[in-house]
Amino acid sequence: METLKEFLEIELISIGENKIQVYTIVVILLIFLFTKLTLWLIKKALFRKRRFRNLQRGSVYALFQIIKYVIWVIAIGLMLETIGVKVTVLLAGSAALLVGIGLGLQQTFNDIISGIILLSEQSIKIDDVLDIDGDIVKIQSIGLRTSKALNTDDVSIIIPNSLITTNKVINWSHQTMKTRFRIDVGVAYGCDIDLVIKILEECAFEHPDISGRESTEARLVNFGNSSLDFQVLFFSQNIFRISKVKSDIRRKISQKFAEHNITIPFPQMDVHVKSNVTANPPD
């Protein structure tokens, strides 16, 4: 025991009155391991389905993230105190420095505050499908500063949390199990309107990802400059891959229009050149 005590009291670094001994390193290591073990036990308890089966996965994840950040802040404070750094004195003495750092890292702090809002408010959760500035993404994780998402091309995207909280964001997952979408198409004047409506509804309903024939509807919405403008509206549960669904329906529409000699026109402009030639006067 005496040998162990002497080993723990070996001085490694001395900075002023503060001395870092082997004992200090051991305590810091124990605090780190205890923190990791505590978080692991909390995570196991939270994500145990039998106990928390009434909570959504996103809610449990948000709760765990908040607990994790609080515990790590406490653990880092204890580590600094173990080294001999007085956290309260350090914060009070560096107030001016923190103000300067805060101004320089304003956007970072904005992202962190936004992350706390997302985790506590839970307006955005794991596996939610969002429309952010026209990009469809599925949220994979929500961090304190950034969130990780997957777009429709299976590309992982890192999104600053402030982008989600300050911009207009459509959360498709807040809708019902199925969501309504539309496809716009124009046909040439003179085409059979009833036939066009029938073809549009059939092309939409025949797709396997479309829900409910009675809710699939085609409409004549406008008399355009170059075309009769139609819309076909349908419901689908495949929100994240809806671009692929729309592409399949458009291909089917093009194929059936060709079979029935229905033309999709393109904008045309007639230019008339008026000649203003002055006749030569008689000799």
Q: CB 244: neighbour CB atoms within 10 A?
A: 12
pLDDT at 1: 63
137 or 266: which leads in pLDDT: 137
Within a 13 Å sphere around the CA of 48, how many CA atoms are in the beta-carbon half? 9
Higher pLDDT pick, 100 / 115: 115
Nearest to 211 by CA among 243, 186, 176, 253: 176
Q: Average of pLDDT values for 184-212?
A: 89
Q: Is the pLDDT of residue 278 over 60?
A: no
Kindly tell me if the per-residue pLDDT of 196 is higher than 80: yes
**Would you say residue 54 has pLDDT above 50?**
no
Residue 154's pLDDT is 79
Closest CA to 129 of 161, 171, 179, 177: 171
50 has a pLDDT exceeding 50: no
Retrieve residue 25's tokens. Answer: 């390193």
In this model, does residue 209 exceed pLDDT 90?
no
Alpha-carbon gap, residue 92 to 87, rounded angstroms: 9
Q: How far apart are CA 279 and CA 9, in angstroms?
A: 115
**Range of weakest confidence among 119-133, 147-161, 217-231, 251-265:** 119-133
Contacts of 139 (CB under 8 A, 6+ apart): 124, 125, 126, 127, 128, 129, 130, 147, 148, 149
**Burial per residue of 90-121, b for 16 or more beta-carbon CB atoms within 10 angstroms, e otherwise:** eeeeeeeeeeeeeeeeeeeebbbebbebbbee
Q: What is the mean pLDDT of residues 82-88?
A: 72
Please give the model's pTM, rounded to 2 decimal places.
0.52
Closest CA to 128 of 71, 76, 170, 78: 170
Q: How many alpha carbons lie under 13 Å from residue 127 in its C-beta half-sphere? A: 6
At residue 22, the pLDDT reads: 75
Structure confidence at residue 199 as a pLDDT band (50, 70, 90): very high
pLDDT value of position 174:
67
Percent of the chain with pLDDT over 70: 75
DSSP letter (8 states) at residue 222: E
86-95, 106-115, 162-171: the lowest-pLDDT one: 86-95
